[in-house]
Amino acid sequence: MSDFDNGLIDSEVERLAILAEECGEVVQIVGKVLRHGYSSHNPLDPSPISNRGLLAKEIGDLRWIISLMLSEGDVAEGAVIQRERLKGESTKPFLHHQNAQDEVRDSSI
C-alpha cells in the first residue's frame, strides 16, 4: 500500500474534475466543427443548435471553471495572464491564416 498523498482537498479535486470534463467537451465540439463545419447541427435534435452555438456554450462553460479556479487560488491569475501573452507572441511565427483579410466567415449561430 502506498503512502502517497497528492495533498488535494475535495473541492480542489472537484474543480480539477470539472476542468477536465469541460476541456474534453471543447475538444469534442472542435472535432465536430472540423468534420462538419460551424453551421452544421445534429439533424436528430428537435431544437437544433449549430456547432458554432455549441462551441460558444462549451467555451463559456470552460471559462466558468477557469474563473472559479482563479478565484479559489488554484492557479495565480497573474501567471495565467503572463503565459497567455507569452503564448500569443511565441505562436505568431507559426500562424498561417490569422488576420487574413480575404477569408469569408460564416457568423450564423
Q: Is residue 109 part of a domain?
A: no
Contact 109, 50 (CB under 8 A): yes
Q: Is residue 4 part of a domain?
A: no
Q: Is residue 57 part of a domain?
A: yes
Contact 4, 40 (CB under 8 A): no
Q: Is residue 45 part of a domain?
A: yes
Q: Is residue 26 part of a domain?
A: yes
Q: Is residue 98 part of a domain?
A: no
Contact 34, 55 (CB under 8 A): no
**How many structural domains are present in the chain?**
1
Q: Is residue 25 part of a domain?
A: yes
CA distance 63 to 19: 9
Tens of pLDDT, residue by residue, the chain (109 residues): 789 999 999 999 999 999 999 999 999 999 999 999 999 999 998 888 999 999 999 999 999 999 999 999 999 999 999 999 999 999 999 999 887 554 555 555 5
Cell of 74: 488554484
Q: Is residue 104 part of a domain?
A: no
Domain of residue 87 covers: 10-93
